[in-house]
Amino acid sequence: MIGDYFVVNFHEHPGDHLVQKNAEMGIDMSVLLSVGDDALEKSIALSQEKPEMFVPFYWVNPARDLDQEPQRLREAVRKWGIRGIKFQPMDQHWFADDRRLYPIYEVCAELGLVCTWHAGIVKLNFKYELGVPMLARYTDPLPIDQVAFDFPELKICIAHLGGNFNYRAIVLAEKHENVYLDTAFLPFFCSHMLPHISPEELISHAARIAGAEKVLYGSEGLWPQAVLHTELSDREKRLILGENALRLLGLERPSTQ
Ligand SMILES: [Zn+2]
């Protein structure tokens, strides 16, 4: 909590010391985005240790038989309380409108699961992930447009506010009722933009265009205070910091908070 603001980090990755990190940053709940099978296992373990704090997202391994994936996903939801899927297209080497993924989207739409797609060209301290090159060509959010048309019930989140494709991502969220944006890693993306724009300004801009109910606080270097420092209304800040996330995840605010 920050003051009486309930804070959900909609973009976290499983790792060590997350409970401590959340305490330091005032984060009440984190969505754990799994990239790889090991990360998925770790997300599940963390959510079983602290179910009120950690919400696990699933991972689709493109090397496995995709025909079996809808069934595996249903089991994962039943067994582990999975509430969404993280797609990492620069590793998986597919676009969002790849028809191989449509049976998976059908299950997500039916069960109310969120599909978060990485977007934006990133420079990390590694160029390969899971043994493959991280290819920028897959990081444009535009193919999500087709998916949003084909699955109007599917909850879709474009990570990093689209990153360097923020203009495209914001218009997609403006255009489609079911497309959302998270704010993770904005300090990196904003540091690369000309003319200069701060994360606070970009968040305000996205909320003005697409609506505050479409923007979800995500961390990766961005503190929740950045949302409080925008010029948005108190109501809009509450939506972005936590209420939108709870609504999308189908969760209640824990009564102990
Ligand atoms: Zn991330």
pLDDT in tens, the chain (257 residues): 999 999 999 999 999 999 999 999 999 999 999 999 999 999 999 999 999 999 999 999 999 999 999 999 999 999 999 999 999 999 999 999 999 999 999 999 999 999 999 999 999 999 999 999 999 999 999 999 999 999 999 999 999 999 999 999 999 999 999 999 999 999 999 999 999 999 999 999 999 999 999 999 999 999 999 999 999 999 999 999 999 999 999 998 887 64
What is the rounded distance in angstroms from the CA atom of residue 181 to the CA atom of residue 172? 9
CB 170 within 8 A of CB 181: yes
Dist CA 222 CA 48 (whole Å): 26
Residue-level pLDDT at 253:
87
| Residue type present at position 49 | E
| pLDDT tens column, 23-77 | 999 999 999 999 999 999 999 999 999 999 999 999 999 999 999 999 999 999 9
Question: How many whole angstroms from 119 Cα to the centroid of ligand 1?
Answer: 10
pTM passes above 0.75? yes
The CA 62 to ligand 1 mean position distance, Å, reads: 19
Q: What are the tokens at 10?
A: 């909609």
Tens of pLDDT, residue by residue over 80-98, are: 999 999 999 999 999 999 9
Ligand 1 center from residue 211 Cα (angstroms) = 23
The answer to whether 89 touches 127, Cβ cutoff 8 Å, is: no
Distance 10 CA to ligand 1 centre (A): 10
Output the CA 122–ligand 1 centroid distance in Å: 10
Number of residues in the chain: 257
**Short-list 142, 144, 43, CA closest to 84:** 43
Report d(CA 225, CA 161) in Å as an integer. 17
Domains of the chain, CATH where assigned: 8-249 (3.20.20.140)
Ligand 1: centre distance to CA 12 (Å): 6
Ligand 1 center from residue 78 Cα (angstroms):
25
Distance from the alpha carbon of residue 230 to the mean position of ligand 1, in angstroms: 23
Spell 165-185 as b/e; 16+ CB within 10 A means b: bbebbbbbbeebebbbbbbbb
Q: Report pLDDT for 254.
A: 81
DSSP helix/strand/coil, 29: strand
What 3-state DSSP class applies to 122? Answer: coil
Residue 256: per-residue pLDDT: 60
Site of tokens 């087709």? 146
What is the 3 CA–ligand 1 centroid distance (Å)?
26
* 130 Rama sector, left if φ>0, alpha if ψ -120 to 50, beta otherwise: left
Sign of CA dihedral 202, 129, 59, 21: negative
β-strand 8-12 against 29-32: which pairing, if any?
Answer: parallel
What backbone torsions phi and psi does residue 211 show, to the nearest 5 degrees? 100, 140
Pairing of strands 179-182, 215-216: parallel
- Bridge partners of 85, per DSSP, are 58, 115
Residue 59 DSSP one-character state? E
Residue 254 CA neighbour count, 13 Å, CB half: 13
CA of 257 to the centre of ligand 1 (A): 27
Which value, to the nearest 10 degrees, does the dihedral of the CA atoms of residues 220, 224, 228, 233 take?
90
- pLDDT for the residue 17: 96
Q: Which residues, at least 6 apart from 192, have a Cβ–Cβ distance to it below 8 Å? A: 164
Phi and psi angles of residue 141, each rounded to the nearest 5 degrees, phi first: -75, -5
Q: Report the separation in Å between the CA atom of 163 and the middle of ligand 1, taken as the mean of its atom positions.
A: 11
Q: Are 80 and 43 in contact (CB under 8 A)?
A: no
Please give the distance, rounded to the nearest whole angstrom, from the Cα atom of residue 127 to the centre of ligand 1.
15
